Amino acid sequence: MTTLPLVIRHEHPGDADAIERLHARAFGPGRFARTAYRLREGTRPVADLCFTALVGTYLVGSVRVGPAEAVGPLLVLGPLTVDPSFEGRGIGASLMTACLDAATAAGHGLVILIGDAPYYRRFGFAPIPPGRLLPPSSVDPARFLWRALRPGAAEAVSGNVTALRTR
């Protein structure tokens, strides 16, 4: 865990520019071509499920969660971002816990993401069985992960995953 004076709070509308700068620092310009970004393209994050991490007034981390669907509703987690100079201090874990607890409390059933299985396994994520859910473009199956937030939620979802677009 971190010894920093860390504050985890819901994302505020005024955080958008700082979060975009954080994404640029952490992921660089190639981030827009990644399948994980295309999976979320055009969605509006669910405000009650998005959190930021601050040290003083400096935004050092962010996690966003957006709506998606297949045959059944689900959430898409990401990006989970920590400022590179603050990595390894438990900030990502604190953000994950906050958003997953909020999604569970709100009654959501299933969360998917594209990410590093060894990292996300500790939060209960596992590879999606082949053929159950199909991302919008090719992705390494070992990185296409899900976590049920309530019993039986994974059994009710299958098919092509599409982000719920905002109008």
Q: Which pTM does this prediction carry? A: 0.89
Range of 113's domain?
6-162
Predicted confidence (pLDDT) per residue in 17-70, tens digit: 999 899 888 787 765 456 566 676 777 889 999 999 999 999 999 999 999 889
* Domain containing residue 28: CATH number: 3.40.630.30
Does 101 fall in a domain?
yes
Q: Which residues contact 11 (CB under 8 A, 6 or more apart)?
A: 19, 45, 47, 50, 51, 52, 62, 64
Cα angle at 133 between 161 and 155, to 5 degrees?
Answer: 115
Nearest to 61 by CA among 38, 36, 31, 84: 84
Token pair belonging to 31: 């981030």
Does 1 fall in a domain?
no
Does 167 fall in a domain?
no
Token pair belonging to 59: 């935004």
Domains in the chain, number: 1
Predicted confidence (pLDDT) per residue in 103-116, tens digit: 999 999 999 999 99
Q: 46 near 65, Cβ under 8 Å?
A: yes
